[in-house]
Amino acid sequence: MAKKPMYLIITKSFPPEIGGMQNVMWGLANELSKNYMIKVFADHYEDHKSFDEKVSFSIERVGGIKLLRKYRKAQLINESIKENKIGGLIADHWKSLELIKTNKKKICLIH
């Protein structure tokens, strides 16, 4: 049986941080994880570990100074694309995609 492709979710806004976009990104990740392999790349948030341990998909948190975090997160995502069979990317903002180097399908939410 062929391995299902992984979908990457790239976001600055993700629980346990509270907000509307956090809810949208959580809902997407949670529902898609029922049928696909999902990996979320999210910004570091204080007290995220107890939240992250309870989900059925992978979450990679990226911290540090905002400008450097943007480049570090893009580097991690680009490495993940090279190392895995990726079906596509879903991002919360066009800025989340500007440093991503791939021809894979991209879905960008605008709010």
| pLDDT digit string, tens, across residues 26-85 | 999 999 999 999 999 999 998 899 899 999 999 999 999 988 999 999 999 999 999 989
Edge-to-edge order in the sheet of strand 58-62: 58-62, 37-43, 6-11, 86-91, 106-108
Element housing 42 (H / E): strand 37-43
Residue 2, pLDDT above cutoff 90: no
Other residues' Cβ atoms within 10 Å of the Cβ of residue 29? 24
- Answer whether 74's CB lies under 8 Å from 100's CB: yes
pLDDT at 1: 52
Residue 3, pLDDT above cutoff 70: no
- Answer whether 9's CB lies under 8 Å from 90's CB: yes
The mean-pLDDT minimum among 2-11, 14-23, 46-55 falls in 2-11
pTM: 0.91
pLDDT at 47: 87
